[in-house]
Amino acid sequence: MAECRICGGEVDEFFDFGRQPVSDSFVTPETAGNEFFFRLAAGICTSCTMVQLIEEVPREQMFHDDYPYRSSTSSVMHTHFETFARRLLDSDLAGEDPFIVEIGSNDGTMLKTFQKAGTRHLGVDPSGQVADFARAEGVRVRTAFFEEATAREIVAEDGPADVIFSANTTSHIPYMDSIFRGVDALLAPGGTLVLEDRYLGSIMEANAFDQIYDEHFYLFSVSSVGAMARTFGFELVDVEPLAVHGGSMRYTIARPGVRPPTAAVAGLLEQERTQGLASPQTYRRFTEGVERSCAELVRLLEDLRAQGRTVVGYGATAKSATVINYCGIGPELVPFICDSTPAKQGRLTPGMHIPVRPPEEFSSPYPDYALLFAWNHAEEIMAKEQAFRAAGGRWILYVPEVHIV
C-alpha cells in the first residue's frame, strides 16, 4: 500500500485509470506525442479517510506560464466569488486595515472585489500568464507556489493575514505539511483559513469519476479535512455545502479554541457516516459505476456514428482528459471540441489529440449532438446555447449516468 501524504497511514487503492497525460497540457500538432504520462490511480487512507492519488505529478508539469484555466470565463463563478468576497468584507474583514491572502488566485476574479473596496490583499499563483491578467486589473499578485518559505516572506512584508482563502486549489497540493506551516506563520492569531473544493460526497453520489485527474491530488470530505486540520495543529470550525462544480464544500479552519465548531460540522460528519464515505463498499460501487459509464458512453458514440449523426464535444475541460483517455474516445468519435479559452483553441486535447476549436464553430453548422464535458456548468451553458436546442440539437451527459437531454 501507498503511504498517506497527510497522516502517514496506509492508502488502500480502489481504482486505476491507467496511463494518463497531464490534464491541462493542450498540445500543438508539432508537439503531439511528446507528452508526459503518469499512472492515475486513487485510494483512501485507512486512518484519516483522505482520498488521494497514488502517484504525484511534478507541480511544474501542471502549473506553469502556459496554464490555460481562467476563473473569469464562467459568469456563475464570477458571481459566486463576488458574493462571498462581500460577505467576508462584512464579517472576518470588517476590522481595521484587514488583509486577505488567496492561494491560487488565478486571474484575480475573487480578489478583484477587495481591490475595488480598497482592502489590502495579495494573490499567490505560480502561473505567470494568469497572474498578469490579475495585475492588469489592479490586483496584487506574487508569482510563486504557496509554501512555508513563501508565507514567511509575505508576513515579513505585509504582516499577518486575517483570512487566507483558497478555492479549488488546496486539493491540488500534495505537500500539505508545508502549506499548513505556511498558514501557521502567516495567519493572524484569530484569523481563518477558508477552503473551497469539490466535495467527495457529491462525487461519489454522482459517479463523477472525471473529477479524478492529476490536479485533484486530494478529494476532500468533512471527515478528512477535519483530520487534516488536527494533524497540523488546527481545527475545522465550520462547513457550508455549495452548488458550484457539481457539488462543493466550503471549510473554515482556525486555531484551536478560536471559534467553537458549528452544528453543521457534526451534522455533515453524521451524513458522511450514513453515506459510507469511509466504507470499502462505497468505492467498489464507484468503480463498477465508472466501468459502466465508460462502456455506455463509447457504445452510444459508436451507435451515433453508425447512424451518420454528428457529435461535437463542448468544453475542453481538464477533467475531460480522464474521460477521453480512459474510455478511449478519439477524433473518430468526437471530431472536435469547442471551448471559449483562447489558449486552448487550435491545440489538441492531451493524450487522445482531439482538436479544440473556438465557440463559433459550434454553430457552423450545429451538430446533431453535443457531448458536454463541462457538465458542472450545464445550467449556464444550456441557457446560453438555446439556439442549439431550437435547431434540434441534443446534449449528451455522462454524470450521474450516460443520458441524452
pLDDT digits (tens, 9 = 90+) for 262-320: 999 999 999 999 999 999 999 999 999 999 999 999 999 999 999 999 999 999 999 99
Domain that holds residue 16: 2-54
- Residues 217 and 339 both lie in one domain: no
More confident residue, 160 or 244: 160
* Same-domain check for residues 46 and 78: no
Taking 60 as the threshold, does the pLDDT of residue 117 lie above it?
yes
Q: Report the pLDDT value the prediction gives residue 337, as an integer from 0 to 100.
A: 98
Alpha-carbon span 225 to 251, nearest angstrom:
8
Judge whether 198 lies within some domain: yes
CA distance 175 to 61: 16
Say what the pLDDT of residue 86 is: 97
CATH of the domain at 347: 3.40.50.720
Q: Quote the radius of gyration of the chain (alpha carbons, Å).
A: 21
Q: Are residues 286 and 255 in the same domain?
A: no
Residues 106 and 130: their CA atoms lie apart, in Å, by 5
Q: Where residue 149 sits, what CATH number does that domain have? A: 3.40.50.150
**Cβ count near 364 (within 10 Å):** 7
Are 334 and 255 in a shared domain?
Answer: no
pLDDT at 295: 98
Q: Does 224 lie in the same domain as 102?
A: yes
Task: Examine residue 340 and state whether it is found in any structural domain, yes or no.
Answer: yes
**Which segment of 64-73, 161-170, 171-180, 187-196 scores lowest on mean pLDDT?**
64-73
Bridge-based pairing of strands 369-372 and 311-314 is parallel
Task: Rounding to the nearest 10 degrees, give the CA dihedral for residues 281, 287, 289, 290.
Answer: 160
Indicate if 212 and 100 belong to the same structural domain.
Answer: yes
Q: State the pLDDT at residue 24.
A: 87
> Looking at the structure, do residues 290 and 342 belong to the same domain, yes or no?
yes
In the predicted model, is pLDDT for residue 71 greater than 70?
no
pTM for this prediction:
0.92
Residue 95 maps to a domain? yes
Q: Do 91 and 230 share a domain, yes or no?
A: yes
Nearest 10 degrees: CA dihedral of 25, 301, 247, 292? -110
- For residues 197 and 112, membership in a common domain is answered with yes
Buried b (16+ CB within 10 A) or exposed e, 106-130: bbbbbbbbbbeeebbbbbbbbbebb
210 and 299 assigned to the same domain:
no
CA-CA distance, 101 to 166, in Å (whole number)? 9
HSE of 197 in the Cβ direction (CA atoms, 13 Å)? 28
- Give the residue among 83, 404, 68 at the shortest CA–CA distance from 243: 83
